[in-house]
Structure 1
Amino acid sequence: MSERRPPGRYEPRDASARGHLPLPEALFVLGHDEAGRTRYHPRLLDAVLGGALLAEAAIDGAVTVVDGGTVKVAELGARPPSGARDLQIAVLETLAGEPAPHTAAEWAGRFAPDATARILESLERVGLCRRVTARRLGLFRADRVQFVDPSLLGRTEAWFTHALTWAHDLSPTDAVLAALGRELGPAPPAYEDLPAEERARRRRAADEAMDESVRRVVAATRATIAASAFGAYR
């Protein structure tokens, strides 16, 4: 019989936590605390999620990023990819519906403003989260997220920690989760406790797990964060 875990807790070395959410949804969950409040500046979270939406399309082969950063959309035919969720289809339709070329940074920036709302809708659609609105002192409206499954945050944090710190067979999704999750805020203690040379090796492993297009999306997302004022207040 497997050991039962307390709600919200998950063993970070347990690889079974990996991949239980799509990449953008996992980063959305990492951006919230146990009470469902946003942990980071909303614009920072939007920037990371905008990059995640484009990175997911690159991982799936729907887009490539050529020299100079220009995004090229693959010819996917009239039908959406098999098993694609509504959010993926919306991203692909947006990419395919724009005749003018755009760079990875421009596309990530275009997805960013409503990324949080669209990803929350995706999680609500499958019953993992719900939006809660309350009034503070009867006057101020406060929106937050409620995790329907209490272990959702714990599992996602465990997946992030595993990908960042211990995994030796990183998938491209693992690698992007590790890279963009680090852009959100401080790394988990398990990662910070590693020797400096091991942390450098882990960063190289994440880069090597991505193909060139995915690496360029991640680099464009990092550059956007670094160039923005909110990047200094993480």
Structure 2
Amino acid sequence: MNQQDRQRIAAGLADGLSYAEIARRLDRPTTTITREVARNGGPTGYRPQQAHQATLQRARRGTPAPPPAAAPAGSTVEQEIIEMAVRSGMPRTAARVHHDLMLSEDGRRTAGELARRLNVSPASVSVAVNYLVQHGYARRERDPRRRRDIYVIDNDAWYHSVVISRRQTIETVRATMAAAESFGLDSPVGQRLSKTAAFLEHVSLDMIESADRWRSLLA
């Protein structure tokens, strides 16, 4: 594997691609990509230049590369859950924060705890939490005694995320309908836009009705 391959691996990780997809693009076995990333910092710490230099040093010493450390139980499954969230559009750090909150026993972490557990900066945690709060996946609580924020995910978070998603969809419906009227509802463009607005409105209505009907499952 050359340095260009490693740069493509780093780019793939940054784009949230799975190991299998990166391997397909490089025409290499998935296990090769998995070992390469695992022995050189993992998916969040992989650096192509450092990985290349480390490989050259091992080759000069004539010693085999050390095997990757054994992964803790469930880590592969957890990584796949994070990858699925990234593929759905969630920023990677936000996906990691969200998953770590889900795994906490009481669904609560401080910024410092998240930064230490995920090995990221407090600023990165703040950006990630802003995204989660904006989309209803988590909320902030203030600890008055220590003057710090606590980030919380509870059973109702999924319901709130649906409500916020519907609100955003309705805003899209209004903007689309306004555009349809500006083109003229009898024009081809106006008709296309008005049908789009009607479709989104009905889908969002079904979504919130379904969320209200099944909200008791989260109690």
State TM-score, norm by structure 2. 0.26
Higher helix share: 2
Structure number with greater Rg is: 2
State TM-score, norm by structure 1. 0.25
